[in-house]
A and B are shown apart, each in its own frame.
Chain A
């Protein structure tokens, strides 16, 4: 079985982001970029399933400009077998990405597609669900535990973290799984693996190859910072608190 893992190159989680002066987006010049933390967890899970013997190959895929190759190299250094880079000049919205992943899945025929539950730059939480819908495959999102039962049965048991608690699903393969934070702790890229990664292939594909229509119905109009939080006021007595709640906040 082949596992396809989609990874996204985003602004590093620990960097303090700033909005560009022209409000068209977030400033990504001279800013540290790295793999989306949820995608790291997805890749780690795929690797663990391969090490358990249920999969033969883990393929990492990334869609974006040429620097995405760095992210794919990280993925290869963690242990993926090969990478696919889909060249794109600007960042796409989830529906476009989902269409691209669908075309790739038609070509590669994986048994499982792993994605991070959301990307930390747009927090959309849509791509995984859209891919499953386009492919007509079952989906298990916000996975906090994945157990692949066995190759013959071709199904997996997934624990999902939902608002009410944990939900356990059994999904037939092929399926789409998106990963949540508590699923695992991603491994570090060790030197021997980095050395091996240098010889692993990264295939470059273009949008024409995949015959994907990238016209988007959504256009980003403006990006602004949230309004600055006003500092709180310390009140000296309960009476003053009630006065303020009544007359200033108008909540009582």
Chain B
């Protein structure tokens, strides 16, 4: 609500944020600026969530103060003649609006997630709003935009949003931990159960039992994700060989309301590739042919079941490389990479899959084959629908063919392993690297001391390249065409950094063997985590200067309970936060979530930088996306998949789809 009170003497202006109904979320913030004007932004939460109510005392105080201010305005208007008490239709309407707003403020306050007082302390950590809120406030707050007071505050508010809007929202949500929400998950009764007639139908269209798997052991592996954290109970796995077969399968499943899970290499880290209940698994592993490769343009067209490493091996003799590289390359399928918009180690150089995928062929829930398999670098004809499928994690359609732009292979690859004393040096090093190494920089990774110790303890044949143990280690890789030139550039940059004190020690790999051993350290952290016991894994996108603060904060919060590690793609602002403990326990989880999500949201980060939402973070989407955006996503999902059979319970919050 917004209540404008004319300034008179000591009367302060009070602004309160508007909240628009059940699914909005905004947060309470109290900001005091130097003009001694207080602005309140009231927040509220989604009704279904569980949250602590603010103190009744606080609500009452606030409401009373608002009432007081409204009364004061009326009095000043009447007695001091600033304005005639306008009892015309317009005037009455205005007063009625004010009263209505005041009433609503009570409702909003009651559902606010945090008390006024607790948020008061956070007024220095403001952040720009998520776009949806800004627009909303702009449209509602026409009266506010036109006054000078607005303009005045624009300069003060350096986190101003679009249109010089005053409002800055933070998202504060406490939905409860993901594990508890997952355990509350019920199988959607609208989905049918598998029957023998279904199996015989699949036998018929796929051509035999070889492609219709009901074998317990194979299903066991297909039902469990790579981290052994999520396990489904599917009774059937299908192995189609052509797009036509996929189309027929989906058409049938849609008509029978059988839920399906598209599966590739099953290397996902958020439980998005395994069934939650008894969904039928459609594994595209047999669709692994390379269809064509243009040696001039570098465009590769292949089926979705091609393993990434195999594609790289195929391209190598031709003098090209895949534009993405990740630790799971030995098992992940390109179809899965595209469906999850995989990032990886080389994103800083080649960009994301949204840029490098030129086309794809996908099958929607009703069996429709969408042929968007273009090989053109530029094609501005209509809406570019392939972007919907890239990153939708199999919930909008099954990707069956991919057309991707590969990069020329450059022979001169250099790798340096650096040790830095503190995180500030790491950041400065990143800035300097981008400036000095520029076009040849192809990877910039970091890991902290705890990660290095974990790897040294749990993996064989690994040694610390730098002789001393430092707080942070950085991997810088350059890829270029001139061997000597690149080498000199890298050496000059590193020596300069050494002199400036940004780098405390470092090593340059002399041959590919040494380079692989450096990469082994960085890529082996996930493996070492598995060996170390239980682990909680988070993948966050944060502003580079904030990245390590969350690790330190979480360390302070957890104390001796667990080992907190931070590593990741520093060049992309992507932190992989991992907490390693001897065993899984809910108390630890309760301390971690939703603290991590709230922290990220507060600093306008993303709760899933590259891993996707899967089933792990489906309900947490609101930490990073506004309600309107999510609502539109839901509409698109319902448009493309009305029965919701494709990868249910994932990506979007469950509440939208439960009957």
Listed in ascending order, the chain A residues whose CB lies under 8 Å from chain B are 12-16, 18, 30-32, 34-35, 37, 40, 70, 74, 77, 185, 188-192, 194-195
Residues of A within 8 A of B513 (CB): 12-14, 37
A164 vs chain B, min Cβ distance (A): 28
Contact A191 B512 (CB under 8 A): no
Contact A12 B512 (CB under 8 A): yes
Whether, in the assembled complex, B491 has its beta carbon less than 8 Å from a beta carbon of chain A, the answer is: yes
A17 to B466, CA, bound (A): 31
Closest A residue, CB atoms, query B503 = A191
Query: Interface majority SS on B: helix, strand, loop or mixed?
Result: mixed
Instruction: Given A70-B484, A194-B508, answer yes or no on A31-B411 (Cβ-Cβ < 8 Å).
Output: yes
Instruction: Given A16-B316, A32-B411, answer yes or no on A190-B505 (Cβ-Cβ < 8 Å).
Output: yes
Contact B510 A35 (CB under 8 A): yes
A115 to B142, CA, bound (A): 83
A195 to B513, CA, bound (A): 23
Instruction: Given A30-B411, A31-B411, A194-B491, answer yes or no on A189-B510 (Cβ-Cβ < 8 Å).
Output: yes
A195 to B498, CA, bound (A): 10
Whether, in the assembled complex, B57 has its beta carbon less than 8 Å from a beta carbon of chain A, the answer is: no
Q: How large is the interface on B (under 10, 10 to 19, 20 to 34, 35 or more residues)?
A: 20 to 34
Contact A188 B507 (CB under 8 A): yes
Contact A18 B511 (CB under 8 A): no
Whether, in the assembled complex, B467 has its beta carbon less than 8 Å from a beta carbon of chain A, the answer is: yes
Per-position binary interface string of chain B over residues 481-520, scored 1 when its CB falls under 8 Å from any chain A CB and 0 otherwise: 0011001000100110010000101111111111010000
Residues of A within 8 A of B316 (CB): 16
Contact B317 A18 (CB under 8 A): yes
Contact A190 B467 (CB under 8 A): yes
Query: Interface majority SS on A: helix, strand, loop or mixed?
Result: mixed
Whether, in the assembled complex, B564 has its beta carbon less than 8 Å from a beta carbon of chain A, the answer is: no
Whether, in the assembled complex, B465 has its beta carbon less than 8 Å from a beta carbon of chain A, the answer is: yes
Residues of B within 8 A of A188 (CB): 417, 465, 507-510, 514
Among A12, A191, A192: residue with most chain B CB under 10 A: A191
Residues of B within 8 A of A13 (CB): 511-513
Partner of A189, one of B467, B483, B495, B508: B508
Partner of B494, one of A18, A37, A40, A191: A191
A188 to B510, CA, bound (A): 8
Residues of A within 8 A of B281 (CB): none
A251 vs chain B, min Cβ distance (A): 35
A89 to B455, CA, bound (A): 45
Given A35-B511, A189-B508, A191-B418, 13 additional A-B pairs, CB 8 A: A12-B511, A13-B512, A13-B513, A16-B316, A16-B317, A32-B511, A34-B512, A40-B510, A188-B507, A191-B494, A191-B498, A191-B503, A194-B491
Closest B residue, CB atoms, query A16 = B316
Contact B495 A195 (CB under 8 A): yes
Instruction: Given A30-B411, A31-B411, A195-B498, answer yes or no on A190-B511 (Cβ-Cβ < 8 Å).
Output: no
A18 to B317, CA, bound (A): 9
Instruction: Given A31-B411, A32-B411, answer yes or no on A190-B506 (Cβ-Cβ < 8 Å).
Output: yes
Closest B residue, CB atoms, query A197 = B491
Instruction: Given A16-B316, A194-B491, A195-B495, answer yes or no on A32-B512 (Cβ-Cβ < 8 Å).
Output: yes
Residues of A within 8 A of B510 (CB): 34-35, 40, 74, 77, 188-189
Whether, in the assembled complex, B413 has its beta carbon less than 8 Å from a beta carbon of chain A, the answer is: yes
Residues of B within 8 A of A189 (CB): 507-508, 510
Residues of B within 8 A of A195 (CB): 495, 498
B518 vs chain A, min Cβ distance (A): 9
Closest B residue, CB atoms, query A78 = B510
Give the 9 A-B CB pairs with smallest separation, nearest first: A34-B511, A14-B512, A188-B507, A191-B506, A30-B411, A12-B512, A74-B510, A12-B511, A188-B465
A222 vs chain B, min Cβ distance (A): 22
Closest A residue, CB atoms, query B417 = A188
Residues from 407 to 426 in B contacting A, C-beta threshold 8 Å: 411-413, 417-418
Residues of B within 8 A of A12 (CB): 511-513
